[in-house]
Amino acid sequence: MPSPEHLPTMIRTPDELLGLIRSRARRLRVRRRLIALASLAVAVTAVAITIGTFARPGSRDVVTHPGPAPTSTSSPTATTNGSSSTEGAVSPGFQPGSVTFASQTQGWVLGTAAQCTTRPCRSALIHTGDGGRTWRAVATPPGEWNPDSRPGITRVRFADSRNGFVFGPGLFATHDGGGTWHPVTLPDTSARAGVFGLETSGGFVYAVAGVPTTSAASPVKERLFRSKVGTDRWVSVANLDASIVAPQAASLAVHGTAGWLALQAENGDNLFLTTRDGSRWQAAPSPCPAQSGSMVVSVASTRDVVTACGVSGGLGSQRKVVMVSHDGGGTFTRSSDPPLGGVLVEVSTPTARSIVVAAVSGASFLYASFDDGRTWTTVSSLPSGGQAWNDLGFTDATHGVVIEGQPFPENSAPPPTRLWTTSDGGRHWRAVSFSTTTLASCTAHELSARGGWQGAGGSMAGTIHLTNTGSNDCTLSGRPRVELDGSGHSLGVQTHDGTFGAAAPPSPVVLAAHQPDSAGFPFVWSNWCAPVPRAVTVRLAFDSTGDIAVQPDGNGFSGAPRCDTPGAISELGVGFVTAAAHANSGSVPLPPG
């Protein structure tokens, strides 16, 4: 060790450095909470199971390779709701920070619109409706990317395609797929309460919040809240003792109404709470060995629970103990230890016999076991300088996600962050590119259309089916512009975009070349008080490349809707373009109400 006289003089004074240290320490405390809680993507598994209707075997919506995929930048061609300037194309510099999949196809990624070097960092939310093949930006999230203070947001979770949350430490909810957001205040807490974990399963959403107190010794107490999805009616289900002040690790896993919450108190104790019904949480013996540091929990079913415990280590290595339960957490058995490299960050268990552990040090590691923890394989070792892992989770036994890094400015530009996906249960991982290398938008000369309608409640409702007749795959998004013609002239029917609801538009739909009826959209015509035309042609356009005329059987549509309100305008409601599952359903999708 060089003696002090051989060292150069420090530039900053000890007091100046101490100020910097205190500032960094505050950020670290918040970030540790977020990192520890990020394993809650586990609950995505539960959600996927609960919302099984999204995963239709055989449907084109079921994606078998949700990894890096061409990203569409095609803009919507018709009205979208919510703020608009950021909707559509994914920003080329988008930095993913949190990911959630509510089904095999419906996923969202929250991040920053660009690599952020100075605050404030503009947040951005992107969505896929095809399992990650294509992504598009949705309405601007309600807060900046900021883990330090409300209303900053750093995490995203969706219970289903409409009900979602952005949080950490702020909390906002949407009930229209991200089109609009509103702030949520938890009961009996001040606006300063910070939400650091949120998961959803079994029709309920659970939030772990740090609630400020007036005690200098215990400035924050952790509380667990619950709300029925879609209601915003939150109740406190666990009021944790003051000994759990500012936990450095908290991990929540839920499946159906069962749940497991692991917390590391600042005094070093590990606390483990469980529930069978979601409303009564009880302390249980910690599965981790004594003197464990961090503890994270994951669940594959109500019976198959895994906890991982960071025991001891230093200089980038740590002994990690994995405890496995196949009776819902009643008894745990220690598996063999994962490799030492890296400090434990997250764990996920996609099946009863497979486990993935994420660890970080000078490199970022993913370790996996496919035999109930008997043997371990290093499935990823990234020399990224120790970027954190976030949101490690699986939507089913094979499809998983994890975010590498955090888009958060410190003293210098953070390294780029990446979304990684696996489609083989965690054996191989691929980075997703959100680049603008995309499929082109379909043009009119590449499309053919067919359709039909029928009377429904005095209206004429129908579906237009679209086929890509070109030689290359292409995409469509948003609503088409639609006009009704009679005898070669416009009937003057006014289009009305709200008929089919005001949800955010789905992601661009990929129309594979020569795949019949690979997409479609619904429409409904009402209140026609003029003479019934002999034949009606539906004329639609997606962009400036031209119109497509739809005339079934060469004679156009026959009939007209009932005249319900004489003197009032005739309206034509048009829905968003969706994938083939809807177009081929054979039914006529009617508007709500």
Partner 1 sequence: MGDHHEDDFEAAYRVLLSTAFGVAYRILGNVTEAEDAAAEAFARALASWRRIARLEYRDAWIMRVTANVAIDRARRIRRTAVIATPPASEPEEANALRVALVAALESLPRRQRDAIVLRYLVGYPEREVAACLQVSPNTVKTHTRRGLETLRRLLNDDEEVPHALA
Q: Residue 38 phi/psi, 5° resolution? A: -65, -20
Choose the binding region for partner 1 from 8-16, 178-186, 393-401, 431-439 (rule: CB under 8 A).
Answer: 8-16
Q: In three state form, how does the secondary structure of 550-592 look? A: ECHHHCCECCCCCCCCCCCCCEEEECCCEEHHHHCCCCCCCCC
Choose the binding region for partner 1 from 112-120, 250-258, 313-321, 484-492 (rule: CB under 8 A).
Answer: 313-321
Question: Minimal distance in Å, beta carbon 149 to partner 1?
Answer: 17
**Contact string (CB under 8 A) for partner 1, positions 267-306, x = contact:** xx------------------------x-------------
413 binds partner 1 (CB under 8 A): no
Q: Closest CB to partner 1 among 241 and 424? A: 241
Question: Minimal distance in Å, beta carbon 313 to partner 1?
Answer: 9
Q: Closest CB to partner 1 among 240 and 464? A: 240
Question: Minimal distance in Å, beta carbon 389 to partner 1?
Answer: 17
Per 3-state DSSP, the chain is made up of helix, strand and coil in percentages (nearest 5) of 10, 40, 50
Cα-Cα-Cα-Cα dihedral sign, residues 286, 287, 291, 294: negative
Q: Closest CB to partner 1 among 15 and 233? A: 15
320 binds partner 1 (CB under 8 A): no
Choose the binding region for partner 1 from 10-18, 102-110, 155-163, 450-458 (rule: CB under 8 A).
Answer: 10-18
Task: Check if the beta carbon of residue 239 is closer than 8 Å to that of residue 22.
Answer: no
316 binds partner 1 (CB under 8 A): yes
Q: Which two tokens stand for residue 342?
A: 């890296």
Q: Closest CB to partner 1 among 23 and 436? A: 23
Cis peptide, bond prior to residue 338, ω within 30 of zero: no
Q: Closest CB to partner 1 among 4 and 592? A: 4
92 binds partner 1 (CB under 8 A): no
- Of 132, 214, 123, 239, give the one whose Cα is nearest residue 170: 123
385 binds partner 1 (CB under 8 A): yes
216 binds partner 1 (CB under 8 A): yes
Task: Check if the beta carbon of residue 357 is closer than 8 Å to that of residue 346.
Answer: yes
The β-bridge partners of 319 are 312
Residues 252 and 43: their CA atoms lie apart, in Å, by: 8
Choose the binding region for partner 1 from 16-24, 140-148, 300-308, 471-479 (rule: CB under 8 A).
Answer: 16-24
Q: Select from 236, 317, 469, 515 the one that contacts partner 1 (CB under 8 A).
A: 317
Residues 402 and 572: their CA atoms lie apart, in Å, by: 43
**Contact string (CB under 8 A) for partner 1, positions 26-55, x = contact:** x-xx--x-----------------------
Q: Which two tokens stand for residue 589?
A: 């999708």
Q: Residue 77: how many CB atoms within 10 A of its CB?
A: 19
Considering only residues 504-533, where is the footprint of partner 1 by CB under 8 A?
A: none
Q: Select from 248, 257, 448, 545 the one that contacts partner 1 (CB under 8 A).
A: 248
Q: Exposed e or buried b for every residue in 190-215, given b needs 16+ CB within 10 A?
A: eeebbbbbbbbbbbbbbbbbbbeeee
Q: Residue 42 phi/psi, 5° resolution? A: -50, -40
Choose the binding region for partner 1 from 197-205, 224-232, 263-271, 525-533 (rule: CB under 8 A).
Answer: 263-271
Task: Check if the beta carbon of residue 449 is closer than 8 Å to that of residue 548.
Answer: yes
Could you list the residues that contact partner 1 (CB under 8 A)? 1-2, 4, 7-12, 14, 17-18, 20-26, 28-29, 32, 216-217, 219, 248, 266-268, 293, 312, 314-317, 340-341, 361-362, 385-386, 411
